[in-house]
Structure 1
Amino acid sequence: MTEQYLVTFTVGPVQSFIASARKVEDFWSGSYILSHLVREALRIFFDKEQEMNLELVFPVVKKRDIIEPNLEELHIASLPNRITAIVTGDEAEVVSLLRNVEKHVRSEFYNIAYAAIDRVFADATAQEQNALQQQTTAQLDNLLEMYWVAQPLNKAEFSDTRLQLERRLGALKNEKQFGQIDEHGLTCSVCKSKEALTIERVEAAHSYKEMKEQLASTWAKRTKAYQGKRIKDNEFLCGVCLMKRHARDYFKEHFNVKMAQGFKRFDAIADIVDEDEGYYAILMLDGDNMGQHLTGNDVTTYQDVSKKLAKFAGRKVPEIVEKNNKGVLVYAGGDDVLAFMPVPEALQIAQQLRFAFSDEQGGLGKNATASAGLVVAHVKAPLQLLLDEVRKLEKKAKAYPNKNALAIGVHTRSGEISETVLPWTTSTQHATVDLLQRVITLLKEDVSTTFIHRFTEAFLPLLDAEQYKKVPKYLVETELRRLMKRARKTDLRDEQLEDVLQQLITLHEEQNSTKDFIYLLKIMRFFERKDGVNGDVTATTN
């Protein structure tokens, strides 16, 4: 019987696939490959647009944007990992559609991996390439996770149908089947979980020396274009990580992009680190309570939110991160953003993204909030470690009362770590980052940072006692006033100093503890030393 169905199709894994990265290039590739697979899934959906009365619910994108994407924004992973749509047909037709989508996506996934072998090992014999392809196939077979469900739809009961669909999808994922590969060789240099590719099959009886020799022999056959920085002599990759390392070249050919800005490679993170000391920042932002925004009782409400998310991710985020600043956008999928950026622009970009998210024109509106993690670290710090840290910071921001917070972490090369969590807007309705910037400017020009050291010396020994977790406001204010007056470097007037002091007290009162406030002072001192003020960041709070 022909009727309307609400269908959902998802592609994964997301976190584990993206996170296996040694370079920014690998991290971008993981995000982009998943976004591309969703794009390919949408192509098959659009092929049935007329025949099955396709109506996209999430994401709401136009067929033209999928078939003929904007080249200037093509390098951004901007599609979420799921598709929800309404289609019309009988049960067999709907199932056939979803199976075709799954088949096409899986085929494209394998094509990306096989293209990497063809290009990187172009000088190998056909037999050698075939051996590498077989090993890669076994690794891919147990990686890609695609789930889909369909539910008959009565539009008057859209909300109930969608909830049923989500419950069925969750149950399906809970029944995940785990495959096992028989591998005996040395693991991949990047993911550490899959066997590095070798032309000759590695057996359990082989010695470590024999395994190393097989790896060296295989990877010596890579073409000149993938030697040096692209794949170092001590890097031995599995089929999945090789696919990611080659991905940018694949997509450049796939979309026939000849413009340099279309798919230019990242030279590590050289373009965003500060030249003197090598620090940079990673930002991860996520919308708060998105389930509440996506619980519309009708299709139109749900689609409206989807359109706003698409506009925010596809236009506003690239504009803030890459057009107006010098950041590198890794992905912007709906309410999720991850970007690398220079330290002087980090606070500015974070605040602009947050308030753009609740903007009535470019975001979800004044009732929407977002939380973010921001980690600053040295270029020599392991990327995988920093990605884990920025996720932890984002979770800490989400755990702040009422969410809507920014968690900042600074990891110095000496090993010191300072972390704190602040609301985007203070109880006095000031944008918190604006207050931070004003204090940082004061530290650069008018007041020596020695007062931070003296304040820490005075209060830190007290803070392990539970009753002194949060030192009374009047004590903090009195001591800060005394120390800041002594630390004046210029003819800063008392009333100007008092104004900044009250801003610091406001920040102290927003902290969970005085120890967190001390960490905040250290973070501001770090930004002062790294020129962490860049332009006017005044934002309109909503």
Structure 2
Amino acid sequence: MSYLLGITVGPVQTYIEESRKLGDLCNSSRIISDIMKEVHEHILNLIKTAELIYPNHKYVQDIDYSNYMIFEIEKSINLKSIESQIYERVYYNSEICNDKKIDFNYKNTIKESFHLFWAIEEIKDNKYSECYKNLTELMHNLKNTYEFEQVEQESQEKCLICGKRNVVNLSNFKKEKYKLKEEENLCEVCLFKRNYISSIRYNSVYEIAIINWKNIHEDELKKVTRDLAEIFKNYYKYYNKNEITHLIILLKKTKENLKKDFKENIKMYIDFSLNNIIQLLKDNKKNIVLKKLNKINEEFNNYASELTLDKLINKLSILEKELEDIYEKIQPPNYEYTFIQFDIDNLGCWMSGEYLKDKKNLKNHQKEISLVLCNFSQKLRESLKNKCEIIYSGGDDFLSILPSENIIEVIEIIDKEFKNEVELKLDKYMTYDRRITYSTSITIAQCKDPMSYSLAKTREELKNVKNRYKNESMGKNGVAINYIINNGKEITCYLQKEDLVNYFELIKGFKKVESKLSFSYINNFENEFKMFNFNNISFEKARKIFEIVDCEVKRLISRSKIKGCNEEKVNEYIQNLAKFIKYIFSKNNNELKSNHIVIDFRNVMNILRLYQKLCIDNLNRL
């Protein structure tokens, strides 16, 4: 007698998205992976003969554990008895859990935060595929109906990150020890996440955003980098001259407030260090700029915080002038970073054997697919070293963060490895009208905006692009590109992978014509066509529109060419660009009813807007 055992942990997405810093995000993923690793080890300890079917990484190293596992076991077991042991092994990896001076109630709080779901189904009459189908249905129903013990929390200050649980009261000393700023009051769960692996220092989004720029201009930045590091804890943010200017203004305003509020003792107070001034304002309950002053003081290192106001202002003014001089010679940094997330399309169908003619060997088929995906994940880690920072990579899903200029290179590496490690190795299961594919979401975001929003946007658009291309016969194979200009404005476009290849070739090729061709045709094209009614138009009318688009695109792009330029390479580029625009215009339509379609003009324009954005980013990289 044998059984199939399915195990997952949840909720995963909300837990990961509740991250304020990149370290929170990386640790969230690591915690989920470690929980599932402990599950795996506990199952093997209970049943030595247990066979892990998915994920099949028996021979694969350096891979994140998926939050979903399938075992074949010889006897039924009850995981309830070992659930607390699994959590405890993970929790006590963190230094903060062993701090007896902090009053934690992890046992109940964490139990509510995570829930292990498992189901066991007997394999009857060797009907493995039928058993697997029943198991997946059971798991789906369990996740939608599970019960949990609600932890009662009195009405107190709530966590800055999740906004749901009460904060842990920590002294300023403890806050500094556990990587918290003064205003960061966190609950037990988010504090645990922040300090899960205290030995690892994660880069900030500011560091990631400008790493290429900093490496390219290393010689020009040598002195100012040394001067910034002398004052700031994390100096990457302060290559932005405006940030330095803002600090100078605030410190000068502080000085004026001191003169106004402490006239009698101003001669004594004016020589106070920044730390002493903050304490003085606290003692006298002068809260005019205290909150802002506290915030910026946390950016300074101990040396800077002990300087008098005048000396600190003077040092910042020197830095401001240094940066001003440097940016007369080189371009200032672009403080944008990118999330890239992908996962395999229709993996459930591939794993259930829906595409197999004969399901007798379904288990081996599942193990083969899983092993291929795990090997792909391992290969991807090797190929992407120094190109991006991988947050998690489990084979069937992937999330990374990178400088925006690296988007094309990273996407091309992923695609190359997928072809070599997945498509070729699973080619025997492919047909002329069905291939294994993956969909991708790319989000370009500003460092100054909340990281949690850009992460949520990345996940949201991955779902949207999968839904947009769900009826494609060859597989979804979609790509969403998002550009968050600020919290109130963003651009999103959708393409399929085969179109993305041509899109990227045009972006890379722009380098050869940049001085001969402007982007003015994009606005002109939009202005000319935005008044058209693209809803519910007949095929005959659509054909006429496509003909007009073909003529006008060529004309408008040619008008954007520098006067007198007739170089062959420029004309060839214009021809390819016009051909691509005509193609995406004709492709971005959906049939409403017989002989009538709707054209997604907005997506066409967003593709062009992001083409312009990515061309500029790619130039900055070269």
TM-score, length of structure 2 as denominator length = 0.69
1:254-285 deviation line (CA, Å, top 9, x unaligned): xxxxxxxxx44223441234751201111111
CA deviation map 1:108-133 (0-9, x unaligned): 244246x3244xxx5xxx4x42xx21
1:58 matches 2:58 = no
1:144 paired with 2:114, answer yes
Pairwise CA distance, 1:291: 1.4
1:223 Cα shift? 6.0
Q: Which letter does structure 2 place at the counterpart of 1:305?
A: I
Q: Does 1:448 align with 2:518?
A: yes
Q: How far apart in 1 are the matches of 2:612 and 2:176?
A: 46
Within 2, Cα distance between the matches of 1:307 and 1:290? 14
Amino acid at match of 1:311: N
> Which of 219, 222, 226 is the aligned partner of 2:171?
219
Q: 1:58 is aligned with what amino acid?
A: Y
- Pick closer, same or farther for the CA change 1:183–1:469 going to 2, 3 Å: farther
Q: Structure 1 residues 245, 497: closer, same or farther in 2, change over 3 A? A: same
Residue number in structure 2 paired with 1:286: 343
Q: Give the Å deviation of 1:514.
A: 2.5
- What CA deviation, in whole Å up to 9, does each residue of 1:151-202 have, x standing for no partner? 222483111011111222233333311432232211111111111113xxxx
- Matching of residues 184-195 of structure 1 within 5 Å: 184-195=155-166
CA deviation string 1:438-468 (max 9, x = no partner): 5644663431111112212222233576549
Q: Does 1:499 align with 2:560?
A: no
In structure 2, distance between residues paired with 1:87 and 1:182? 40
Find the aligned partners of 2:141 and 2:436 in 1 and give their Cα distance. 29
Worse-matched range after superposition: 180-189 or 24-33: 180-189
Structure 2 letter corresponding to 1:369: T
Give every structure 1 segment of 4 or more consecutive aligned residues whose post-TM-superposition deviation is greater than 4 Å: 360-364, 463-471, 532-535
Match of 1:241 in 2: 190
- Matched residue, 1:527: 614
- Pairwise mapping of residues 360-375 of structure 1 onto structure 2 (< 5 A)? 360=421, 365=426, 367-375=435-443
Q: Is the 8 A contact 1:285 1:372 kept in 2?
A: yes
Please give the alpha-carbon distance, in whole angstroms, between the structure 2 residues aligned to 1:495 and 1:48. Answer: 67
Secondary structure in 2 matching 1:462: coil
Deviates more, 1:11-20 or 1:435-444: 435-444
- Answering whether residue 280 of structure 2 is matched by residue 343 of structure 1, we say no
2: CA distance between counterparts of 1:352 and 1:191? Answer: 35
Residue aligned with 2:208, SS:
coil
**Contact between 1:405 and 1:423, CA under 8 Å: does it hold in 2?**
yes
Q: How does 1:289-308 map to 2 (within 5 A)?
A: 289-296=346-353, 297=359, 298-308=362-372
**2: CA distance between counterparts of 1:406 and 1:443?**
27
Q: Work out which of the residue numbers 75, 92, 102 in structure 1 matches 2:83.
A: 102
Aligned to 2:546: 473
Give the number of the structure with larger relative contact order, counting CA–CA contacts within 8 Å between residues 6 or more apart.
1
* DSSP-derived class of the 2:164 partner: coil
Structure number, greater radius of gyration:
2
Report if the CA contact (8 A) 1:422-1:432 is conserved. Answer: no
Residue in 1 that maps onto 2:468: 400
What percent identity do the matched residue pairs reach? 21
Report SS of the residue matched to 2:209: coil
Could you report, residue by residue, the CA deviation over 1:29-76 in whole angstroms, capped at 9, with x for unpaired residues?
Answer: 1111000111111112233464xx2211111122x86xxxx5xx4xx6
Q: Secondary structure at the match of 2:160?
A: coil
Matched, 1:85 2:71: yes
Task: State the one-letter code of the partner of 2:5.
Answer: V
CA distance in 1, matches of 2:450, 2:418: 30
Q: What residue number does 1:116 align with?
A: 96
User: CA, structure 1 residues 318+433, in 2 after alignment: closer, same or farther (shift >3 Å)?
Assistant: farther
Measured in 2, the distance between the counterparts of 1:528 and 1:503 equals 15
Corresponding position: 1:266 with 2:252: no
Contact 1:24 1:269 in 2 (8 A): no
One-letter amino acid of the structure 2 residue matched with residue 147 of structure 1: F
Question: What is residue 6 of structure 1 aligned with on the other side?
Answer: 4
Separation in structure 1 between the aligned mates of residue 459 and residue 410 of structure 2, nearest angstrom: 18
Q: Which moved more, 1:376-385 or 1:432-441?
A: 432-441
Q: Secondary structure at the match of 2:461?
A: helix
Which sections of structure 1, spanning at least 5 residues, go unmatched? 199-217, 253-262, 536-542
More helix per residue:
2
How far, CA to CA, are the matches of 1:362 and 1:433 in structure 2? Answer: 22
Give me the whole-angstrom Cα distance separating, in 2, the residues matched to 1:447 and 1:164.
Answer: 60
User: What is the SS of the residue equivalent to 1:341?
Assistant: strand
Q: Per the alignment, do residues 532 and 108 of structure 1 end up closer, same or farther by CA in structure 2, a change over 3 Å counting?
A: farther
- Equivalent residues, number: 465
The question of whether the paired residues in 1 share the 8 Å contact of 2:341 and 2:442 is answered with: yes
Contact 2:91–2:97 (8 Å) recurs in 1: no
Secondary structure at the residue paired with 2:528? helix
Instruction: Quote the residue 1:260 is aligned against.
Output: none
After superposition, the Cα gap between the structure-2 partners of 1:511 and 1:440, relative to the gap in structure 1 and judged at 3 Å, is: farther
CA distance in 2, matches of 1:385, 1:26: 14
* Distance 1:445-1:294 versus aligned 2 partners, 3 A rule: farther
Is 1:510 the counterpart of 2:587? The answer is yes
State whether residues 55 and 85 of structure 1, in contact with CA within 8 Å, keep that contact through their aligned partners in structure 2: yes
Question: Would the aligned equivalents of 1:25 and 1:268 in 2 still touch at CA under 8 Å?
Answer: no
Instruction: Check 1:410–1:174 CA distance in 2 against 1; reply closer, same or farther (3 A cut).
Output: closer
Question: For residues 470-519 of structure 1, what are the alpha-carbon distances to aligned partners after superposition, in whole Å with 9 as ceiling and x for unaligned?
Answer: 98222112112112112123543334432332133223333342221111
Check 1:381–1:26 CA distance in 2 against 1; reply closer, same or farther (3 A cut). Answer: same
Match of 1:167 among 112, 137, 162: 137
Q: State the partner residue of 2:24.
A: 26
Asked whether the 8 Å contact 1:35–1:79 carries over to 2, the reply is yes
Q: After superposition, what is the alpha-carbon deviation per residue over 1:304-325, rounded to whole angstroms, capped at 9, x for unaligned?
A: 1111121122x1331343x1x5
Contact 1:357-1:364 within 8 A present in 2 as well: no
